Amino acid sequence: MARRLIRKQMQLFGSIVFTALLFLSVVPFSIAAILARPFGADASYAVAVVWAQMILWLCKVLCGLDYSVEGREHIPDRNCVVFLKHSSAYETIVQWVLMPRQTWVLKRELMWAPFLGWALFCLSPIAINRGAGRAAVEQVLQQGATRLRDGLWVMIFPEGTRVRAGESRRYGVSGTLLAQQAGTVILPIAHDAGDYWPRRGLRKRPGTIRFVIGPAVDPAGREPREVNAEIQAWVETTIDGLQRARHTADADH
């Protein structure tokens, strides 16, 4: 019992140190990304990737939290739209190293944050007003098409916001409409990061987060809601399988 308590205390301490370093790292790396922008967007992007790699390493060292990737063979040869489950902060970091050169659909409020927002501006994300309805969808279609033509992968959290592990919300149609308009596919990615790095929680649970890249879905000629339902069913079923496998492994130990 005493050993278990000590382990929990050490895990909490490591999580606190990691969180502090995470926040402290934002300002210097944001400044570096901004200063790199005159050399091109790719230079700013390279700075951001280094930041992501550093944060993932710190998370592994201080929190004992790592990740694995399955299904890389499903990544198509050309860039496309990616649907990534959003249940933690971890996937917002790992996406930088998980996929090639990319852009993101994100809420415009992030662009207003000092330093972080300025650095994001240098990376040309698709910053939308989530309350704008159809106007936000049109923005994703217009700017997303441009990004895809430029060779970028367009990363989308299809539920529109971060949801608690085990929960799900209806997918928005903008990502599917974008893929249809651009004549490309949608690549779904499921993971169980929310079980290790809770939506609102300081302590990170040690272990290995599993990211599963699913088969690409071609939305051409199909009703967008039908496509979304198919992808969402695969994502949630896959996450349920990851959770059951982990619970079985925990029980065996």
Question: At 220, phi and psi to the nearest 5?
Answer: -55, 130
Q: Report pLDDT digits (tens) over 58-82.
A: 999 999 999 999 999 999 999 999 9
Q: Which letter, b or e, does each residue of 34-61 get, where b requires 16 or more Cβ atoms within 10 Å of its Cβ?
A: bebbeeebeebbbbbeebbeebbebbee
- 36 has a pLDDT exceeding 90: yes
Calpha distance 193→69 (Å, rounded) = 12
Question: At 163, phi and psi to the nearest 5?
Answer: -120, 155
Calpha distance 120→162 (Å, rounded) = 19
Q: Report pLDDT digits (tens) over 119-154.
A: 999 999 999 988 878 899 999 999 999 999 999 999
- 251 has a pLDDT exceeding 80: no
Q: Report pLDDT digits (tens) over 221-243.
A: 999 999 999 999 999 999 999 99
Cβ–Cβ < 8 Å for 178, 140: yes
Tokens matching residue 248: 């079985």
- 109 has a pLDDT exceeding 80: yes
Question: How far from chain centre, in Å, is Cα 174?
Answer: 17
Position 1 confidence tier, pLDDT thresholds 50, 70, 90 = low
- 252 has a pLDDT exceeding 70: no
Q: Please name the residues in contact with 124: beta carbons below 8 A apart, sequence gap of 6 or more.
A: 41, 103, 147
Calpha distance 176→153 (Å, rounded) = 14
Q: Please name the residues in contact with 179: beta carbons below 8 A apart, sequence gap of 6 or more.
A: 80, 81, 185, 186, 219
The CATH code that applies to domain 65-252 is 3.40.1130.10
- 253 has a pLDDT exceeding 70: no
- 23 has a pLDDT exceeding 90: yes
- How many other C-beta atoms are found inside a 10 Å radius of the C-beta of residue 24? 10
- 25 has a pLDDT exceeding 90: yes
Q: Report pLDDT digits (tens) over 150-174.
A: 999 999 999 988 998 888 999 999 9
Calpha distance 214→167 (Å, rounded) = 20
Q: What is the dihedral of CA 80, 128, 48, 149, to 10 degrees?
A: 30
Residue 155's SS3 state is strand
Q: For residue 33, give the amino acid letter.
A: A
